[in-house]
Structure 1
């Protein structure tokens, strides 16, 4: 790593937003530590200023090992997350807990682990990636929405709490990005979470997902995370993508 450059650690870099965000920060001249549960160095350019590390945000020992290997960082981007789409009554509680373990408690655990070094230096920024469902509730996504809404409140509180020590906390709220294959990163099939009694209700909703009027690109999110990480104002929320921006304005 180049000691003259800022260093960012990004979770969930195996695909989607995380991968594009790692590429974008690297292109902007930062040291990048791209983390993923199953490391694949072939996904990113080979460079002395870019490292790929294993990290499972649901495991304390994995968090500790990754941060120890990373050394001092200037920014943490909590991007790792899993989706779930389906009728709430048909979604097993075990799966709901799995969603919260990654989307909510994983973010909290990563944040708690980096606060001491940021506080000691009186500098640093934590960027938590949530979703536009926090701006306008989406049907058939109750558990996912709850897991992301929790991080909205969490980050708002942190912005006050850590601001006292010169540490910034930001939210990035991506819209709908078809390329991320939302809810396909778990072992539970979407069709198993839509009972027949919900089929007629769900059909037009999924049709809208198939042909959305506005979408978010992975590039939109990467650029917004970059902007949030470098923002020195008190702005907390950064909607990412045309649809998220429209929802934020309406809200």
Structure 2
């Protein structure tokens, strides 16, 4: 039974991905800041472990408790929506600590065991904003663009050791709590000077032509894990697929 470790599995894409792999008979290690989530079914092939991807001790404790990991899915992430001008640098740094440095730290933590076994897969979940930049999300976009470049680079250097690195690029999912892990309110990040510009953008968010379902992301992770063609990027959702085709 192969083992997959998923970060940020308390809700959204991570939760749905955990459910998907559980149903397929995988050993699933679902990680989250505060375990106790009853959204995952009780199963003999499920372990729920605490993890803060921004804390080195938390990562080290997790790796020790988890044992051998065949697949790592770096899904944990936070977002900030608003005018860049009005976004405090402390919150921009928080976004990078989770989305960028947290992903890098988890990747670095699993490489030694995968390299020793000469096998393993690392799937980094980014966003369709890397396919087409979205206004009012500059910090978030930058944090995800960094992971795109990072993943492309390690895909080359880790292939030598039998380790694959993949990208899953979800589109816009109205059901996800995009900025739930920050203390910022969107309305505080839209100064009056930006109000007219922001109004139609938020209207489009509220009534998008195409969206991504959480199941689309779980399916894209599944395809990435089982891909043997060397494909790096896996857009997830109808809107992400359309942006990828246009790009």
The answer, yes or no, to whether TM exceeds 0.5 is yes
Give runs of aligned pairs for residues 205-220 of structure 1, distance below 5 A: 205-220=201-216
Q: Deviations over 1:177-213 (max 9, x none)?
A: 0000212331111111100110010000000000000
1:83 to partner: Cα distance: 0.7
Paired position in structure 2 for 1:119: 115
Paired position in structure 2 for 1:80: 76
Cα distance in 2, alignment partners of residues 58 and 41 from structure 1: 20
Q: 1:189 aligns with which of 163, 185, 191?
A: 185
- TM-score, normalised to structure 1, is 0.97
Cα distance in 1, alignment partners of residues 16 and 38 from structure 2: 14
Paired position in structure 1 for 2:99: 103
Q: 1:225 aligns with which of 193, 203, 221?
A: 221
Q: How many residue pairs get matched?
A: 247
Give runs of aligned pairs for residues 26-105 of structure 1, distance below 5 A: 26-105=22-101
1:41 to partner: Cα distance: 4.1
Gaps of 5+ in 2: none
RMSD (Å) for aligned C-alpha atoms: 0.6
Cα distance in 2, alignment partners of residues 167 and 232 from structure 1: 12
Cα distance in 2, alignment partners of residues 183 and 206 from structure 1: 15
Cα distance in 2, alignment partners of residues 206 and 181 from structure 1: 15
Paired position in structure 1 for 2:151: 155
1:150 to partner: Cα distance: 0.1
Cα distance in 1, alignment partners of residues 168 and 25 from structure 2: 21
Cα distance in 1, alignment partners of residues 41 and 168 from structure 2: 25
Q: 2:198 aligns with which of 193, 199, 202?
A: 202
Q: 1:142 aligns with which of 123, 138, 141?
A: 138
Cα distance in 2, alignment partners of residues 201 and 68 from structure 1: 49
Q: 1:164 aligns with which of 146, 160, 164?
A: 160
